[in-house]
Amino acid sequence: MTSSTAQPWIDLDVPASELRLDPTLTCGQAFRWKVTGNSEWTCALWDHVIDLKQTQSSVQYRVLGQLPAARANVEDVLRDYFQLHIKFDALCDVWAQTDPDFAQLRKTHAGVRTLRQPVVETLLVFIASSNNNIKRITMLADKLCQHYGQSIATEKGIFHTFPTLQRLNEDPDIEGTLSQLGFGYRAKYYAKTVNMLCSSHEDPEVFLLGLRTAPLDTARAELLKLSGVGPKVADCVCLMALDKSDAVPVDTHIWQVAQRRYVGRVLDPKEGPEMLKLLSQDHRDKAVALARQLRASKTPTTKTYEAAQQLFIHLFGDFAGWAQGLLFSGDLGQEPKKKSNPAPSKRKTTQSLPPANERKMRLRSSVKD
């Protein structure tokens, strides 16, 4: 076990309008951050245990501990993790031109960002997400880290890094181990996926990271080859780890959001043209056809899930996945949750608790520094 001394707090100099930790870290895209103090969050991210603190004017961070071989610049890591080069306010400006409701959402749910997470962690955690809830997903992720990860002792307790695929592959009976840890039928998914990636690629993480530069359809197709990965899990990994900001994970709730918020408005003779004004005629026609397909469907099916996904992409372009995330938070009809995971014990090892061409160009130039 590695033991370290906490470093001083450093300001990331990012306003709350661009990043708020509570809603961003509790909206179902990250599962290993936990509250360890007043507006403070802690996690073993890569080789460091990182402490985050929300202040009235910004977000601060400090390193509580690290592995001996840790070399990364932590501030660079965090700016990349939170994708701070993308301007949340600018995105809302563009989205509000299609849906005026985003003007209100940007106020009530400001700073809800989509993360750029470690690809192995995102893949393996979301394999555990199917037919599951946040509390149990968190528990399974923590058990995986406790059993296979490296431990780092800090003043706030013991934290564990997320294991590499190679480390998992060293277990000759990973399915049996995970079954004993409570993974149930998912244990076989992990065993098959780890074996497939490690036997097919000299460095499986490099292969997965390479999907960041592949087209969305290619990345999704590669992920769908893996055991335990269906369309929603693949889209979550694409959006939250593989730089596919237009990937839209669709479940029953998001299908309902599309039905309730957009189908009628897109097809309305007065409101529809205003909502679709930024799109080329071809994309307008496709959006209308998708809305009609959704209106004719009373219950969600594979085809209507795909139609809802494509409607979001046509309406919100390159950052449709980000827009979907904000809509998901806003559609809950309440402020983001305040209750979060407890801190780890200092005595006991614990770690309890994701377009039209002219529009794309406008988005790219306005939301990135």
Q: Would you name the residues annotated as active-site residues?
A: 232
First to last CA, the chain: 40
Strand partners, 105: none
Can you give the chain as a three-state secondary structure string?
CEECCCCCCEECCCCCCCCCHHHHHHCCCCCCCEEEECCEEEEEECCEEEEEEECCCCEEEEEEEECCCCCCCHHHHHHHHCCCCECHHHHHHHHHHHCCHHHHHHHHCCCCCCCCCCHHHHHHHHHCCCCCCHHHHHHHHHHHHHHHCCEEEECCEEEECCCCHHHHHCCCCHHHHHHHCCCCCHHHHHHHHHHHHHHHCCCHHHHHHHHHHCCHHHHHHHHHCCCCCCHHHHHHHHHHHCCCCCCCCCCHHHHHHHHHHHHHHHHCCCHHHHHCCCCCHHHHHHHHHHHHHHHCCCCCCHHHHHHHHHHHHHHHHHHHHHHHHHHHHHCCCCCCCCCCCCCCCCCCCCCCCCCCHHHHHHHHHHHEC
* Alpha-carbon dihedral 328, 333, 338, 342, rounded to 10 degrees: -60
Neighbouring C-alpha atoms within 13 Å toward the C-beta of 196 = 15
Could you tell me the sign of the dihedral formed by the alpha carbons of 232, 236, 238, 243, in that order?
A: positive
